[in-house]
Structure 1
Amino acid sequence: MAESASVPAIAPLRRGEDRPLPSIRRRQLREAAIRGVITLIALTGIAAVVLIFVFVAREALPLLTDPEVRGEASFGKLFLPQVLRPNRPPGFMWQPVSGVPKYSMIPLFVGTLKVTAVSMLVSVPVGIAAALFASEFAPPRLREVLKPVIELLAGIPSVVLGFFALMVMATWLQSAFGFSFRLNAVVAGLGLALTVIPVIFTVSEDALQAVPRAYREASLALGATRWETAFRVVLPAAAPGVLAGVVLGFGRSIGETMIVLMASGNAAITSWSLGDSVRTLPATIAAEMGEVVFGGAHYSVLFFIGVELFLFTFVLNALAAGFVKRLVRRMSGGKA
């Protein structure tokens, strides 16, 4: 009969030996402290945004609570047509400094929409096409030069780009297209596009580079050309990231101040012609905030414009985030 193998006896745990080693405990405490600091920093950023919004909304609150301010700038006067002159049909006018102040938002909305539309119509196709070329077709040496040059535009101060649009682009566009006004929505939109293109290019190029190489190899193995692979495989796969870049560019476009202030003409005209001078919401705040009477109706209306910009940007980002999630879910095979 074989002898049973001897099993070493297990010594009983002494009191206190079931606790983690001091080094492990120190590492856990350090990780908990780092986690807490990171969480605090994140909450600080969120709190800062909330406090800014609360401050802006508080300064605009007299439009609802102060009878004197409401009498001068009620919501009806902000958004509905008003009688501007006797025996004339009602219209919209932004003229806060006059015997009878007029605070119509419609000319500012129209101007903001025209400048943003021109900017996005130029910057979206140019930015995405440049990102697609740099990611899929450019030789390595050209890519190393092209990407920093385009991203360098984001580092140029907006006042410099505004000066360029004012002195160079305005004269050239007026002579080329015969605009009646030298400074108009087209000049401001094209100048604004110079700041939006780097944003869309950078985010889109990163999204295209993140597409797995196996997608490209599978498409080429099935007989597709490089152009077909880029447009029908790579670009749809990177669509969520490209859309995020477009949303960021749109936010930059609608919130830009200095370029529009210098190159748009700053005339609050209710006209859908791109050749007319315009005034945007951010440019109005920048141009008039330093000259208003503290606590007056004009002061509250300017802060109300800031609230509008806050809400519009928040709603746009929320809608874009929801659309991106649905798009990612659909591309991954889940239910939309």
Structure 2
Amino acid sequence: MPRSDLPLKLVCRTLAVGSATIVLLILGFLVRESWPAFQSLGFARFFSDDGWHPVSGQFGLMPMIAATIITSLGGIVLAAPLGIASAVFVQFYAPSVLVPWHRRLVELLAGIPSVVFGLWGLVVVAPLVAGLGGSGQNLLTASIILGLMILPTIALLSDSAIGSVPRVWTQGAAALGLQRSAIVAQVVLPAAGRGISAALVLAITRALGETMAVLMVAGNVVQMPTSLLSPGRTLNANIALELGYASADHRSVLFVSGLMLMLIVGVLVVAISRRGGTSYARR
């Protein structure tokens, strides 16, 4: 390595170690605050208790874990096709005059505060979903709002990933007689798979971490969901609602909820990353 690159290498290593250290410190803080609940209640009760009734000593987290996973995965299912299609449109189909405007609009969508999404969902989306049954404040509405919130992340990062595919690959495919749709499906998207996987990872962590908008539109009822039209409460919303007045075991269990969130994020990130890396390696 040239001597001139050594300072940059040291800075990068230092920042990388610093980032990992911050994550470990946060994890250690959550474990420390959760430990009293593990000691007094054990681990199994968070999954076996009948429901969430802190006053009665019931600390079942399963309804909120289910609501968190359903809304986040629902948001990804809605946003991933739209975001990837947006990136393909910008790179291959949009007129050159329209491209910068389309990108600016997507960036503007990324800058809208979550509480505005929540208000819009409560006033506009919830009444529409109510036509399917219920009050409209349910997991489906929350999934739609989350999908719109994470759409810019997927669209912009997928745009960057597709744009980084070497042009000579697409030119070679065109020279072989492939149509534009075949080039996109068989050459570009597989080559950009790792970047698109990274976009999905960031988007799903964004969805799992959202609190205010979901709190406003999901119905805020602690019950095991039976369908997308069921109201629910996510782990994030529960922490935000109850941490201000919780004490003793109740407070400690809220930190257990934070650990559960980190566990869910870690599992999903590893699953998506391994899938993206594996498919890329096979190519």
What TM-score does the superposition give when structure 1 sets the normalisation length?
Answer: 0.79
Once the two structures are TM-superposed, the CA of residue 34 in structure 1 deviates from its matched residue by: 5.4
After superposition, the Cα gap between the structure-2 partners of 1:191 and 1:218, relative to the gap in structure 1 and judged at 3 Å, is same
2:217 is matched with 263
User: Aligned runs of 1:264-279 on 2, under 5 Å?
Assistant: 264-279=218-233
User: Aligned runs of 1:26-41 on 2, under 5 Å?
Assistant: 35-41=9-15
Q: Which runs of 5+ in 2 are unaligned?
A: none
Q: Which has the larger radius of gyration?
A: 1
Once the two structures are TM-superposed, the CA of residue 329 in structure 1 deviates from its matched residue by: 1.9
CA distance in 2, matches of 1:54, 1:302: 15
CA distance in 2, matches of 1:164, 1:323: 35
Contact 1:184 1:274 in 2 (8 A): yes
Q: Does 1:164 align with 2:120?
A: yes
Residue identity matched to 2:275: F
Structure with the bigger percentage of helix: 2
CA shift digits 1:159-194 (9 cap, x unpaired):
1111111122112322xx332123101111111111
After superposition, the Cα gap between the structure-2 partners of 1:184 and 1:75, relative to the gap in structure 1 and judged at 3 Å, is same
Contact 2:128 2:136 in 1 (8 A): no
Residue identity matched to 2:254: L
RMSD: 1.9
After superposition, the Cα gap between the structure-2 partners of 1:156 and 1:299, relative to the gap in structure 1 and judged at 3 Å, is same
Once the two structures are TM-superposed, the CA of residue 221 in structure 1 deviates from its matched residue by: 1.8
User: Aligned runs of 1:20-59 on 2, under 5 Å?
Assistant: 35-59=9-33
Once the two structures are TM-superposed, the CA of residue 32 in structure 1 deviates from its matched residue by: 5.0
Contact 1:216 1:234 in 2 (8 A): yes
Residue number among 111, 118, 131 corresponding to 1:155 in the alignment: 111
1:201 is matched with 155
CA shift digits 1:102-150 (9 cap, x unpaired):
2111111221122123211210111111111111111111111101211
Q: Give the aligned length.
A: 282
CA distance in 2, matches of 1:213, 1:38: 30
Once the two structures are TM-superposed, the CA of residue 247 in structure 1 deviates from its matched residue by: 1.7
2:259 is matched with 307
What TM-score does the superposition give when structure 2 sets the normalisation length?
Answer: 0.92
User: Aligned runs of 1:55-74 on 2, under 5 Å?
Assistant: 55-65=29-39, 69-70=40-41, 74=42
Contact 2:88 2:162 in 1 (8 A): yes
Residue number among 183, 186, 190 corresponding to 2:144 in the alignment: 190
Q: Which runs of 5+ in 1 are unaligned?
A: 1-26, 83-91, 332-336
CA distance in 2, matches of 1:117, 1:45: 27
CA distance in 1, matches of 2:5, 2:103: 38
Equivalent pairs: percent with the same residue?
33
After superposition, the Cα gap between the structure-2 partners of 1:31 and 1:203, relative to the gap in structure 1 and judged at 3 Å, is closer
Superposition misfits of 4+ residues, deviation over 4 angstroms: 30-35
Residue number among 61, 72, 76 corresponding to 1:105 in the alignment: 61
Q: Does 1:221 align with 2:221?
A: no
Once the two structures are TM-superposed, the CA of residue 36 in structure 1 deviates from its matched residue by: 3.8
2:47 is matched with 79
CA distance in 2, matches of 1:242, 1:31: 30
2:201 is matched with 247
